[in-house]
Every structure is written in C-alpha cells, then in structure tokens.
Amino acid sequence: MAKKNVKPSEPTGKLVTVVSLLKRKKGATVEQIADAIDWQMRGAWTAISRVRQLGFDVVSVKRHGGDRVYRIAA
C-alpha cells in the first residue's frame, strides 16, 4: 500500500513534546520520551504510535550501543 503525501496534523498536549523530541537530529529513545512526558514506557510507545497516526513518518535506527532511536524522517 503506497503512502499518500498528506500534511501531518498538528499535535496537541504532550504530543507536542514528543514531536519536538523526535524532530531532533539525533532523535530520542523510548526512555527519553517517557521521562520527558512523565509517563511509563508503555505510554511512550503509545505516544510514538499516535504521532504516526497524525501523519508523521517516524523511523527507528539501532545505535552502535544497542539503543533504538526514533526520529521523524526529513
């Protein structure tokens, strides 16, 4: 299924914080997101999923140290 070129919706509430973390050049780990929004890890996963539902292209990369980093693709 091909992705449509749709402009992402504007995030609200704590998703604004999540989007700003994911827009950083180095991205963010799930732990960093959970700490920033003061939620548990499962809530951070939900937040990443919600950002994807808003139309942002979230990618993950495994770092050399083994951590997985998430960021919004440019």
User: Where does residue 39 fall: left (phi above 0), alpha (psi -120 to 50 degrees), or beta otherwise?
Assistant: beta
70 alpha-carbon distance from chain centroid: 6
Per residue in 42-67, pLDDT (tens digit) is 999 999 999 999 999 999 999 888 89
Tell me if 2 is assigned to some domain.
Answer: no
The more confidently predicted of residues 65 and 18 is: 18
Domain span holding position 67: 14-72
Q: Tokens 């770092």, residue?
A: 63
* pTM, rounded to two decimals: 0.82
Tell me if 4 is assigned to some domain.
Answer: no
Tell me if 1 is assigned to some domain.
Answer: no
Instruction: Based on DSSP, count helices (H) and strands (E) in the chain, helices before strands.
Output: 3, 2
Tell me if 6 is assigned to some domain.
Answer: no
Q: What is the pLDDT of residue 6?
A: 61
What per-residue string of b and e applies to 41-68 under the rule 16 or more CB within 10 Å gives b? eeebeebbebbeebebebeeeeeeeeee
- Domain count for the chain, please give it: 1
Question: Which CATH number does the domain housing residue 28 bear?
Answer: 1.10.10.10
The more confidently predicted of residues 17 and 2 is: 17
